[in-house]
Every structure is written in C-alpha cells, then in structure tokens.
Structure 1
Amino acid sequence: MKIAVQGLEDGHVVRLEPLSDVLREPLRAALNCDPEAWALMVGSACGERFDAFFDSALIDMEKGTKVAWAVRRASDDVIVGTTSLYEIKPEHRRCEIGATFYRPEARGGAINPACKRLLLGHAFDAGAVRVEILTDAINPQSQAAIRKLGARDEGVLRKHKITWTGRIRDTALFAVLDEDWPEVRDRLDRRLAAFG
C-alpha cells in the first residue's frame, strides 16, 4: 500500500490540494477562526499554532506517514479547511482519516461527505484494508457525522490522547474495511447526488 501525494477532486464540490508552501497563507486564513471548535481537537492550528501545525504536516508528508490536503470549495475556489490521511501503515495496509477542520460556513453540507468520499476512495485504491476515523468521545456531532458516512462504531479508547489544552481525551473509534467500502461508497454517492 502506497498512498500517493496528489490532488483529488470530485468535479463538483471540492478539490483537495496537497499541502505545499504556496498554500500556507490561504490555509492560515481558513483555519484562523472558531477557537472554540479547536478546543475539541487534539492539536490546534489556530493563531500562533498554525505554523507548527503546517510545518509538522510537511515533515510527515516527506516521511510518508501522512498526506495532508487543503480543502478548496469548487463553487468559489476558496480554501475552507484541511483534512488528512495519516498514521499510514503500509505493513498493516491501514491508515486514519483525520486532522479535519472546516470553516463554520463549510460545515453541515456537501463538503465533508465529498472529502470523505475522495479520501476513502484514495486509500482503498492504494490497497488499504482498513481506514479508521477517530473523534473525541465528548463530541456527539462528530460521531453522528461519522456514522452517517457508514463507518462502523468500534468502541471508545479510554484516556487515549492528551489534547493541546492538557485535557485527557477518550477517543471514539470508527472504521471502514475494504469489504465495507462498496456499500459506503454507494451511500456517499447517493448523499452527494442529493445535494444536486
């Protein structure tokens, strides 16, 4: 399994552009908002924390353990967030989807399912047998969105991570397996078609 660093697009809703220095300032503008939402994240890319986040993502991409993208909304060509495939483990043919953050006006519509459709397709096309999606156990909105994608609930990892605020986090674990992917893909395609 080798996850290629490449742009991904669906032709309608989003384009995912691999992080590069040319995207630093547009992404900074997109992520420098909604500090309350960052409080639920393991790390923050808001304000003075942005450059460390961005530089770390570039280093991880060079190592091959992560592919991070800027999310560009197709309708107006504006960068509205970021998402990643990370914890890439070729020896186990698995990875995680995460480090996802969208501007408030980009939440709740077609952008998240369009991104997840592209990321899951990219991972399974590369030979993944398992793609995990993790979220904070105290974030029911995020958990509901992950279930709506068709990922399966696999339980809670207690005291799994310590967030940038120092809070010890329990993590809700979800996964999509290669045998689940055709059904999940069809479900996402139907959802995206309903957006028009």
Structure 2
Amino acid sequence: MTARPLPLDALEGYGVRLEPFAPSHLEGLRQALARPEVFAGGWGGGPAAFCEGAAFEAWIVRYLPLDSALPVPRPQVRVVRATAGPLAGRVLGTSTITDLVERSESAHIGYTAYTPEAWRGAVNPACKLLLLGHLFDHGYGRVKLQADVRNLRSRAAIARLGATFEGIARRDQQRADGSWRDTAIFSITIDDWPAVRAGLMARVAGAV
C-alpha cells in the first residue's frame, strides 16, 4: 500500500475529539498543561522550560510545529478534548503527527502531553487509536514514538500501547536547561496494528 496525503481532519471517538490547533485553544491548553508536573518528565524541553499564564501561551505557539514555512507535508498539530466522562468539554492536551514521508510510508506521533487528571486512564489509548488508525488507513506502514530517556512515565505509557522498543538515540536533542537528552525510540508497524488495536480497544473498554 502506498501512503496517501493525510487530511488534517478532526478525529473523534472513544470519548475524545482531536481538533486541528486554533488560537482559540490556547486558554484550554494553558489550563491543562501549564503545570510543573507536565514538564517534569521532559515534555517541552523539561523542567527548565516551565512557564505559566500569558508566557505559557506565547511559549507553546513557538514550541509546537505550527510554522507555515515548514516543508510540505506539514506537521498536524491537534488539541485533545474530552467528549465524555467527568472531564467532558475540557481541553486535555495535545498531540502531533509529524515527519510524514509518503515514499517510505513513515510518520511520527510526538509533542504529546496531557493534563495530569488524564494520566493512566483511557485518554492516551483513545488518542492513539484515532491517530494510528488515521495513519494506517492512509497507507502509512511505520509510526515512530519517542521520549526523553529520563521520562520513565512516558516510556512506560508508550510500551503499554504495544509499541516495540528499538533503542536509544544518544545526544539526540537539547533540553531547555542546555543539557543533551538521549531519546528512547519505539515504533508500531502496520503488521503490529491488529494486535495493538485490539489491546487499545480493550483498555478503552475497560476504562469505560
């Protein structure tokens, strides 16, 4: 199967809606993510990047890959909103499909963070069901996921998805404090998808 252009649609199901980023989301993202514990594991460049209020809103616009000058196909930044349960209507976080390469049928899901109230529940498996399904349905065959090697919570969350650990990329990205991070790299392929999808569906059903 050959990868096809990926539409930037809103994706909805399993209690969440993934909406293409718009400036109207900034207040909700601030409330969800401007928390020290969100940055503590390495998201956004780590604890040194933490900021609040208007400074956070200015920072996240720079941090997320929103630049219209980026090469085509551009990253697809989506905002996660709950559609069911006690958090219904609230912005919960953000996730992005990036590094889209149609020729090699590969992509990367990254820039992912959720409000602590959504940790360890159905939100991450629900979002991955939508994002991975969107990619595989459009002919992509390999999706990379990664985390700062120090971010044990995120690494465990990626492993729980059913992703395969591929190794450590050393001195891969610079953190906000100037130190260099090693990156733990995982992947899910189209061959993995039936089993991964079944596992995610079971997690979502169990949480409901």
Fold shared per TM-score above 0.5: yes
Q: Which runs of 5+ in 1 are unaligned?
A: none
Contact 1:95-1:132 within 8 A present in 2 as well: yes
**What number of residue pairs does the alignment pair up?**
194
| 3-state secondary structure, aligned to 1:17 | strand
1:72 match = 81
Counterpart AA for 1:4: P
Single out whichever of 16-25 and 76-85 deviates more from structure 2: 16-25
1:50 match = 57
2:8 match = 5
Counterpart AA for 2:66: L
User: For residues 42 and 177 of structure 1, do their structure 2 counterparts lie closer, same or farther at Cα, with a shift above 3 Å needed?
Assistant: same
Contact 2:172-2:182 within 8 A present in 1 as well: yes
- Quick one: which of 130, 145, 149 aligns to 1:133? 145
Contact 1:72-1:78 within 8 A present in 2 as well: yes
Deviations 1:18-57 (A, max 9, x none): 101222322233222x224314125457432532432553
- Quick one: which of 111, 125, 129 aligns to 1:117? 129
| 3-state secondary structure, aligned to 2:121 | coil
Contact 1:83-1:100 within 8 A present in 2 as well: yes
2:206 match = 194
Counterpart AA for 2:36: P
Q: Distance in 1 between matches of 2:206 and 2:181?
A: 35
With a CA cutoff of 8 Å and minimum separation of 6, indicate the structure with the bigger relative contact order.
Answer: 2
Query: With structure 2 as the length reference, what TM-score do the two structures score?
Result: 0.85
Q: Distance in 2 between matches of 1:97 and 1:45?
A: 22
Q: Distance in 2 between matches of 1:45 and 1:172?
A: 22
1:59 match = 67
Counterpart AA for 2:38: A
Counterpart AA for 1:54: V
| 3-state secondary structure, aligned to 2:176 | coil
1:167 match = 179
- Percent same amino acid at aligned positions? 37
| 3-state secondary structure, aligned to 1:58 | coil
Q: Which runs of 5+ in 2 are unaligned?
A: none
